[in-house]
Chain A
């Protein structure tokens, strides 16, 4: 979330405390001139001048109102930017407290949660204790993955809301502040002076403010073009690094990860486990997903009820794609009277837990 609220506040202050004050002062100057002319300039020319001065006062006062509107809009943006930055900071703090690594303002993707291989039936006490310890570490890592996924969703929601706010509160403002009639009057005045052969003053001829305004508009075009550009280097100038499009890219990677990639490893690979459980032969598919039938079954079916279902799903992922394929092939080759009872049992267990899983799963599958 790039941007400095102090910088935005400074711009708003300049509009209200400098530009608005000076334009208001200019109106007062012309009011004073009009009153003086009313008293000391007689004849048709005096009357014409007073009429002209009144018109200058009217358009100047109208512009004071526009500047106040502009300052208010910029201030409102500062408030919204501050809210967004605070929300992002809160999410970073939550990530740190949850054990995720945060480098500068970027929450790092947690590594995959790998379930430990269960001990053999004749395992020693030490081996059993080690397994329990490793299961604890595994659960902790699963918690990190879940936290990361939830924070990623929160980041996207916050960012989308921030961009939507800009679209609805700022985008149309410049158009409402334009005063083409004043621009036309200025051009007419300039033309009239030219016709009279009056030399322009130094200030008038240089028009510093207009040049700066034009330069600013050029910046606006550049920034707007950068937002739309597909060129990463240009886009980097026009958007914050964590834009919705980038987050959507991450989701795309997550989809890819679910098919063997590593970017969002555990979250992505969860999909494979889900598919395995929905498979016609879920027992064999689960074996394929895990490194061994016992390990996978233990992870899924020995998990305490208190363990979130999504954690159980993630726990079955620890995948080696090659081993998975080999085991699945072997399962298919095995006699049906050996594999079918296992499939039936796994399918039954899965059906029982699916309802419980659905709520947790729904929070995750949106990312695929």
Chain B
């Protein structure tokens, strides 16, 4: 089956993912690299580092998504089935690993 995705839609989808990624990574220059927090400085830095690292992962995931959407447009996926299996693999990878984490986060 051929892929039914216009170039315009593909470009817009990729751009949205790019925007999501660069919106996060664009904060790198303003990110506090040190905090004068006294005795609790290490703990404050550890808290910031924890959420920044995950934010960066989310940026990466979006940039990969943008790259994949563009790849579809450039016929990297070749067929609808090939492309769907690629996204399915990513979806499964995220779902399998994050169920517990999501539930914890919601609590």
Contacts and interface: CB of A to CB of B under 8 A. Distances in A.
Interface of A: 1-4, 7-8, 10-11, 14-15, 18-19, 22-23, 25-27, 29-30, 32-33, 36-37, 40-49, 51-53, 55-56, 58-60, 62-63, 65-67, 70, 73-74, 77, 81, 162-163, 166, 170-171, 173-174, 176-186, 188-190, 192-193, 196-201, 203-204, 207-210, 212-217, 219-220, 223-224, 227, 238-240, 243
> What DSSP secondary structure best describes chain B's contact surface?
helix
Given A51-B87, A65-B105, A181 B97 contact: yes
A63 to B, nearest CB: 5
Contact of B59 (A77, A81, A203): A203
A153 to B, nearest CB: 20
A171 B3 CA distance: 51
Nearest to B12: A36
Contacts of B91: 48, 51-52, 55
B51 A63 contact: yes
Complex A-B, nearest 4 residue pairs according to Cβ-Cβ distance, in ascending order: A3-B38, A181-B98, A208-B28, A26-B20
Given A45-B77, A173-B43, A179 B101 contact: yes
A202 to B, nearest CB: 10
Contacts of B33: 212, 215-216
A198 B67 contact: yes
17 contacts: A2-B38, A4-B36, A10-B35, A29-B20, A36-B12, A45-B80, A56-B65, A67-B51, A70-B47, A185-B93, A189-B65, A203-B21, A203-B63, A204-B59, A209-B25, A210-B57, A220-B46
A2 B100 CA distance: 39
Given A26-B20, A192-B68, 16 more contacts: A10-B32, A19-B24, A45-B72, A45-B80, A48-B85, A48-B87, A48-B88, A59-B61, A62-B106, A63-B55, A74-B44, A77-B44, A181-B99, A185-B98, A216-B49, A219-B34
B15 to A, nearest CB: 9
Secondary structure call for the A interface: helix
Interface string B1-44: 10111100100110011111111111111111111111111111
Interface of B: 1, 3-6, 9, 12-13, 16-72, 76-77, 80-81, 83-91, 93-95, 97-102, 104-106
A192 B61 contact: no
B27 A52 contact: no
Contacts of B34: 219
Contact of B45 (A25, A47, A219): A219
B85 to A, nearest CB: 7
Given A77-B40, A77-B44, A196-B76, A204 B93 contact: no
Contacts of B61: 56, 59, 182, 185-186, 189
- The CB with the most chain B CB atoms within 10 A, among A26, A58, A162, A197, is that of A26
A40 B6 contact: yes
B58 A188 contact: no
B62 A30 contact: yes
Nearest to A24: B23
Nearest to B99: A181
Contacts of A63: 51, 54-55, 58, 105
Contacts of A203: 21-22, 25, 59, 63
